[in-house]
Amino acid sequence: MTARYAYSAWDGSQDGSGIDPDALLGELTDELLAGGDLDAALRRLLRSGMQTRDGERIMGMREMLERLRRRRAELLSQGDPDGRLARIAEALDDIVREERAAIDDLEDEARASGDERRASVTSEVAAERRIALDLLPGDVSQRVRELQRYEFVSSEARERFNELLDELRQEVADTYFRGMSEAMRSPDPEQLARVRDAFDRLNRMIEQRARGEELDPTFEAFMDEFGDLFPGAGTLDELLQQLAARMAAADAMWRSLSREQRDELQALAQSLLEDMDLRWQVERLAHNLRQAMPDAGWGDRHRFTGDAPLGLGEATDLAQRVASVERAEEVLRSASSPASLGEIDLEEVGRLVGEDVARSMERLARLARELEEAGYIEHRGGHTELTPKGVRRLGQRVLADLFAQLRKDRVGDHRATWSGAGHDREETSRPYEHGDPFTLDLTRTVHNAVRRSGAGVPVRLEAADFEIVETEALSRSATVVAVDLSMSMPMRDNFVPAKKMAMALHALISTRFPRDYLGIVGFSAVAREILPEELPTAMWDYVYGTNLQHALLLARTMLARQHGTKQIIVVTDGEPTAHIDRDGEVQFNYPPLPETLRRTIAEVVRCTRARITINVFALDIERTQFPFVEQIARVNGGRTFSTTPEKLGSYVLVDFLRHRRAFRHAG
């Protein structure tokens, strides 16, 4: 078949470095086979990360959490809002000193003029001013309030105080509403009234929605009138999230101060919001936002560790950035699936921590979606499972890995197929199936193509058109793989290689020899049949016992229904230690009882009489001292292979292909 490709113009939205679902499946393989839990394997991949096919490193959650923790510490070390009160007090002290110096200069000037009346009046005024300054309270907020009523002698001191007030009003406005300071501290009564009206209507919308009522005004009408005060919000939810995040950060900033600092600065902030109605609207909005957005971070507090004093707005900015980092940390720590990462604001993470972290989060969030879109996984009853397509692809990957190892070890190319020469042709043909000898019936094949596409040249063939000549007999082979699932297998790291071998063999037979039969038996204290689709999640048994007798009995029963040459491939790491007695009860003992060995050999004899070959792949035979496998070989005529977990899959595939080739040539 000719590959077809579709091309389109680049518009900047295409991602040319998508995660390869096959590579993802490969990353999950060992963890999935070892634990039998796809969700757990996905969580492990989330924690550790991976390398993409184009060499990009995707950070895992452990690495990203460490980056977030370091960034949080860096932010907290940038300053300390506790020092802001001292800076305001110092500025007020400087203003008062300048005012006192101006009073002294004024009094000296009056005396020097020689005008006694002027000197007397000036002296009285100077005394009044000094008394007023002497009576200024130590509390910063009250001192500011008193100086607002004080009549300055020094124009420079008055100007400096007004500048300080303007700076503090801007800080207070920026503390709660970043970007609205100009409007909130405007001397224009109409502008201030507009801000009050905007807050009132916003409060009404929040309260109406909480009661389930229709919004009046609508959000669109509200933004048409006041959108310049709230830029960047496309929906009411977005606007509320922005405002709640800011006010919650302000709340965290206040809570992070010492009690003395907090009380004084909050009193100062309230005194600077001179318009009582505006102050009430702000408090009303804070209350409504707490109700509407309870998870915005209300009640947080931070431990600022820096030396540089921060303004209230600056400290709130910092608290908001810290809160964003902490929210990302919280999501990462609690993430149970890749989709959980979708709750993180990736743009914010990119700004605060780095684009590489944000990109890794975005890539991890897509893991499950990539696998699901490829048809490899599906969600059922709160769990993630492999689809039949996923099971097949997993087996194909394992098979490809084993063949790659074979080529690497120069064992030979095992991709060859054999045509089964020597069979007599019949007068019939049938549609070609993958794995059949390619003895093409050209007449029937061309006829099928013409009938499908109509007369005319050239005649284009498709796979569905192929028909092959029937032979007198088609060779078939039936195999049962009996895999030891006793506790010793995972303890000695033999379990995953054994599962990989079984999956690779199933993939090989189902794709290249589809007429062959493969059954799978798992055995520990007892034996059970395992369906191919159950292989990835099949687990070893939490029991003692290696019941080879029952495994051979079940395998023989399964093969009795099959035709062709028959074999049982046994993979085990120990000698038989369990059997089923006459009453159907399981008997276990270590070291093995003579009765266990006798009953196992009796089953070997039955398999031999049924013309079933038993080939045993013994793992760690040097350590386990497993002479019993030699007895099986002597009785049955099969072979014994001593191998390691790393070589098991290659050994089984090589032996199966040699066995298959010998049988087909003999046919």
Percentage of the chain lying above the pLDDT 70 cut: 87
> What gap in Å lies between CA 395 and CA 508, rounded to an integer?
8
Alpha-carbon span 514 to 83, nearest angstrom: 78
Count the neighbouring beta carbons within 10 Å of the beta carbon of residue 104. 13
Tokens of 621: 């035979």
What is the predicted pLDDT for the residue at 200?
A: 92
Long-range contacts of 38-41 (CB under 8 A, 24+ apart): 38/377, 38/383, 38/384, 38/385, 38/386, 38/536, 38/537, 39/336, 39/337, 39/383, 39/384
pLDDT band per the 50, 70, 90 thresholds, residue 343: confident
CA distance 326 to 144: 36
pLDDT value at residue 181: 59
pLDDT of residue 394: 85
Predicted local confidence at residue 621, as pLDDT: 60
When pLDDT is cut at 50, 70 and 90, the band that residue 99 belongs to is very high
Tell whether the model's pLDDT for residue 63 goes beyond 50: yes
The pLDDT assigned to 666 comes to 47
Nearest Cα neighbor of 480 from 510, 514, 508, 518 is 518
Helix (H) or strand (E) holding 378: strand 377-380
* Average pLDDT of the residues of the chain: 82
Average pLDDT over residues 357-367: 83
Average pLDDT over residues 142-148: 89
Q: Give residue 185's pLDDT band: very low, low, confident or very high (50, 70, 90).
A: low
For residue 423, the model assigns a pLDDT of 43
Helix 276-292 and helix 189-210, axial crossing angle in degrees, nearest 10: 30
Question: Model's pTM, two decimal places?
Answer: 0.63
Q: Answer whether residue 209 shows pLDDT above 60.
A: yes
Whole-number percent of the chain with pLDDT over 90: 25
* Domain limits, the chain: 21-77+325-386, 81-303, 425-471, 477-666
Q: Read off the pLDDT band of 662 (50, 70, 90).
A: low
Q: What is the Cα–Cα distance from 131 to 114, expressed in whole angstroms?
A: 25
pLDDT of residue 14: 42
pLDDT at 417 over 60: no
Helices H, strands E: what count in the chain?
A: 26, 14
- 251-302 pLDDT tens trace: 888 888 888 888 888 888 777 766 667 788 888 999 999 999 998 888 888 8
**Closest to 134 (Cα-Cα) out of 146, 148, 149, 122:** 146
pLDDT at 3: 39
Output the six-digit token pair for 654.
């090589």
Q: How far, in Å, are 44, 73, 105, 106, 304 from residue 310 at the CA level? A: 42, 16, 35, 37, 10
DSSP output for 237-260: HHHHHHHHHHHHHHHHHHHHS-HH
Residue 275 has what pLDDT? 63
Residue 517, SS3 per DSSP: strand
Calpha distance 241→212 (Å, rounded): 19
Q: What is the pLDDT of residue 563?
A: 86
Residue 411 in this model has a pLDDT that exceeds 90: no
Q: How confident is the model at residue 473 (pLDDT cuts 50, 70, 90)?
A: very low
pLDDT surpasses 70 at 436: no
Residues in the chain: 667
Residue 397: predicted pLDDT: 83
Check if the beta carbon of residue 648 is closer than 8 Å to that of residue 616: no
User: Averaging pLDDT over each range in 104-108, 308-312, 418-422, 525-529, which range is the top one?
Assistant: 525-529
- Which one has a higher pLDDT value, 41 or 612? 612
Pair type for strands 377-380 and 383-386? antiparallel
Q: Would you state the torsion angle of the CA atoms of residues 548, 552, 553, 554, taken in this order, to the nearest 10 degrees?
A: 100
- Asked whether the predicted pLDDT for residue 57 surpasses 90, the reply is no
What was the pLDDT predicted at 428?
60
Q: Considering only 16-20, 110-114, 201-205, which range has the smallest mean pLDDT? A: 16-20
Q: Long-range contacts for 90-97 (Cβ within 8 Å, ≥24 apart)?
A: 91/160, 91/164, 92/140, 92/143, 92/144, 92/147, 92/161, 92/164, 94/160, 95/147, 95/157, 95/160, 95/161, 95/164, 96/133, 96/136, 96/157
Nearest 5°: CA angle at 518, between 512 and 522?
A: 140
Q: Which fold has domain 477-666?
A: Rossmann fold (3.40.50)
Q: Reduce the DSSP state of residue 434 to 3 states and report it.
A: coil
Structure confidence at residue 538 as a pLDDT band (50, 70, 90): confident
Between 351 and 659, name the one with better pLDDT. Answer: 351
